[in-house]
Amino acid sequence: MEEIQFELTEEYIELIKLLKVLTLAQTGGHAKMIVDNGEVMRNGEREFRKRAKLVKGDVIVIADQISVEIV
């Protein structure tokens, strides 16, 4: 599994914005589809909220292939 650390410079980042910033999704629509399809886990639980506010300490796993730690 590929592991990525994302340095958060604000209070939070929305899930779909994170997917776009890390180029894990080509467009906002693609990011929404990834979330809708249940491919995103947040701290071990499936996350279906596209605008979930991710904060430092969160660990996001996309399609069991990419792990993103918010630091």
For the stretch 30-58, pLDDT in tens is 999 999 999 999 999 999 999 999 999 99
Return the bridge partners of 66, or none.
2, 62
The reported pLDDT for the residue numbered 32 is: 96
Query: What is the pLDDT, as a whole number, of residue 28?
Result: 93
- In which element (H, E) is residue 59 found? strand 59-62
- Whole-structure pTM value: 0.92
Mean pLDDT value of segment 15-25? 96
Output the CA–CA distances (angstroms, integers) from residue 27 to 10, 31, 32, 48, in the order listed.
22, 6, 9, 17
Confidence of residue 2 (pLDDT cuts 50, 70, 90): very high
User: Tokens representing 53?
Assistant: 């506010």
Q: What distances in angstroms separate CA 5 from CA 19, 29, 33, one per listed residue?
A: 13, 24, 23
State the CATH class of domain 2-70: alpha beta
